[in-house]
Structure 1
């Protein structure tokens, strides 16, 4: 067995079954999982940087077609109501300001996907193939996670009486969970999308993240375009 196969086998052994479960229904064959991205032609044709420079556009939630996307409720206990309202507003704004998203799906032929995300059927579709078992660990800077579809948006209670308490070990883990899950929960109305996301920090409106390192290291490839 060559070193690459040994590494992949080790990753497979250490991954938690409950984490891998989110990928059970992805289209796949014996070697690869397949994810899809419906794309439109922008004015400056930056979208073609995917092929020219191996770059993907990451988008801020404010630009999404669902105004409730990436929303969560943070509940602070044991602090005055006025201060609680300020904290809730600050954290919701701060979290949304600093993260951006690129989206994939597992529903390539769905008519609504082509209408909403591929310029009313005038855009194109790209298929990405990811080798087993790296779907759960593509790259340090590129981790694919499934969207959870729920009737209610997540609520996160933080037990603090002093603002500094949010940085203790118990609340820090809750904050990490909040940041991640706020971006991975959508209304059940969007269930047809069967969406997956990768998150990036330090939002920039011109944020094109390079896939070069990913492609070189684990053969993360785009291999199909449908016009």
Structure 2
């Protein structure tokens, strides 16, 4: 699919690391395609372990009464353009007692619907700057039996339309409805904000979005140009059989890619 330019920089004037990495499991056929077909997959956020990752609710409940009325005014202006402002405001005030904003339960229902809709229309590619993180090897590469692929972030993000660093917070940011937070601000908060307990990942992300309709499985798969690949790192406990399989499975355009082996020395990961 053609990617839209949607570059979001979350650490201004901070250069990308020289390489960004994706940890995978070799005995998972879907993970193998990262090498065999040069495919990256943009999963929906619903599969993420962090309950707030891309799931921060928009806080309609924190709007003041006047802010809720003004929100209603904007909705009415879109439905009935060309009327004077006092018409919209008076009508918004009249409708308020029966609006969603007057009911905490309805606000929760709206937040749930928005979260489900967001999940269907967004795909996130997660990468890290660390190829030697024991926690990452354990969790994302099946206890050091998998592999890790390095990418040139400039080539990768230029091709995918942009990307940026995840920012880690003591408390999850509050996201307000427009216009207090624009749509772009809401998107940036959702995609690039995580709790500091996940800071060890030092994560960078890029994303796909398709607002008109849900992303299909095919939409979420993107073929990456071979020049974006920099290296493959084999897990310290990867079986020899799998190492041979990887060597044989490399497509011609990746045959000469640098390959390294990770080892564990006194609890530290060493790449050789």
TM-score, reference length from structure 1: 0.70
Question: How far off is 1:17 after superposition?
Answer: 11
Question: How far off is 1:150 after superposition?
Answer: 0.5
Cα pair 2:175 2:189 within 8 Å, conserved: no
Question: How far off is 1:40 after superposition?
Answer: 1.1
Q: What is the correspondence of 1:1-227 to structure 2 with a 5 Å cutoff? A: 19-21=12-14, 23=15, 26=17, 33-43=18-28, 45-76=29-60, 77=63, 78=68, 79-81=101-103, 82-131=105-154, 138-139=158-159, 141-158=160-177, 170=179, 174-201=182-209, 202-205=214-217, 207-212=220-225, 215=226, 219-227=227-235
Cα separation, 2, equivalents of 1:16 and 1:38: 23
Q: What 5-or-longer segments of structure 1 have no aligned partner?
A: 1-14, 27-32, 159-165
Number of residue pairs the alignment of both structures matches: 184
Cα pair 2:151 2:230 within 8 Å, conserved: yes
Map Cα deviations across residues 98-141 of structure 1 (whole Å, 9 max, x no partner). Answer: 1121111011111101001001111011111245xx67x513x3
RMSD: 2.7
Tell me which structure has the larger Cα radius of gyration: 2
Cα pair 2:165 2:192 within 8 Å, conserved: yes
**Structure 1 residues 185 and 17: CA distance shift in structure 2, 3 A:** closer
Cα separation, 1, equivalents of 2:115 and 2:187: 10
SS of residue matched to 2:205: strand
Question: How far off is 1:56 after superposition?
Answer: 0.6
TM-score, reference length from structure 2: 0.59
Map Cα deviations across residues 203-223 of structure 1 (whole Å, 9 max, x no partner). Answer: 3346321214xx5xxx32242
